[in-house]
Amino acid sequence: MARYLLRRLVFLVVSLGLACVVLFVLLRMLPGDPANALTAVGASPEQIAAARHAIGSDKPLPEQFTHWLGQLASGDLGTSFVSSLPVGPEVASRLNVTVPLTLAAFVLAVLVAVPAGFVAAHKRHTWYGALLSAVSQLGIAVPVFWLGMILIAVFALNAGWLPAGGFPQDGWSEPGDAIRSLVLPVVTIALVMSASLIRYVRSATLDVLDSDYLRTARALGSSFGRAMWRHGLRNASVPVISVLGIELASTLLGAVVVESVYALPGLGSMLATGIAQHDYPVIQGVLFVSTLGVLLIGFAADLLQRIIDPRLRGRLSGGAR
């Protein structure tokens, strides 16, 4: 167990390091000069050169990269070129919106998709089983921003039950208003995510229903529910856990779209503003935190799979994967 965890932690650190290199290089390859955000239109070459020197973009790329890694090692995400404010506290404040949004949507999607996917598989020969499969296929094709606009029109503009967007200025110090402002964004993400998850749960359940071990358990006298609980649940959950990790990571990275539709002050809007202003520290800070979150989610999903699956449990001691 200890050797396996050590190996996975080393892999996590190496992956994060490679991601930092790719992020730094690709960001410098984009067109545009970050010094333009600090100078007025028609600035002289001397003014542009002074702006580049002020933000350090005139230094060699290896020196810039080493400086950034040193900041990360000390827990510093840098200082914004535009606002001259530290990026770390701003990212932390934005996480107060993005993390609850992502987790709430994920939990709601799982609560909808798991029973719906099981019913779609177990009752696949009935009309409602086929309907669930068809609805999930349709839901995958629905763009998340279009669904968000439909929900705003129905529940905010027409019914007036929920706010159309925004977030309380005092944040979670007004929990009632904060929760109301996240209801529609959470439902938007959850509906799109659950449509995809239903397909995976249905596929995993079908594999269990057609398995020899389930038929053997039933032949030995176990009821369907008992056989599924003791033998089917564990085997069906292994591939689903992997998909859940991917979906959770995708939701964290894709929050920019939903946050833009609902004007939420999360990481997505911060990233969009940073890109528009060529604010490298902001872009690097947001993407670094997002990448770290994705890698940690993958690590947790991989570990959970090996704990649940008896075929992989023996490999926790450090044997070959």
The CA–CA distances, whole Å, from 8 to 2, 11, 242, 315, 318 equal 10, 5, 16, 12, 10
Q: Which domains does the chain have, with CATH numbers?
A: 2-73 (no CATH), 96-265 (1.10.3720.10)
pTM: 0.80
The one-character DSSP state at 266 is S
Binning the chain into helix, strand and coil, the percentages to the nearest 5 are: 80, 0, 20
Residue 61 has pLDDT above 60, yes or no: yes
Give the pLDDT of residue 304.
79
Query: For residue 160, what are the contacts with CB-CB under 8 A and spacing of at least 6?
Result: none
User: Does the pLDDT value for residue 314 go beyond 60?
Assistant: no
What is the residue type of 28?
R
Spatial CB neighbours of 225, under 8 Å, sequence gap ≥ 6: none
What pLDDT is recorded for position 242? 76
Q: Among 31-40, 85-94, 149-158, 291-300, whose mean pLDDT is lowest?
A: 31-40
Beta bridge pairs of residue 86: 79
Confidence class of residue 159 from pLDDT cuts 50, 70 and 90? confident
Per-residue pLDDT at 151: 92
Cβ-contact 51, 35 below 8 angstroms: yes
Question: Does the pLDDT of residue 313 top 70, yes or no?
Answer: no
Q: What is the pLDDT of residue 320?
A: 42
For the cut 50, the answer to whether the pLDDT of residue 112 exceeds it is yes
Specify the pLDDT at position 318. Answer: 45
Is pLDDT above 80 for 252? Answer: no
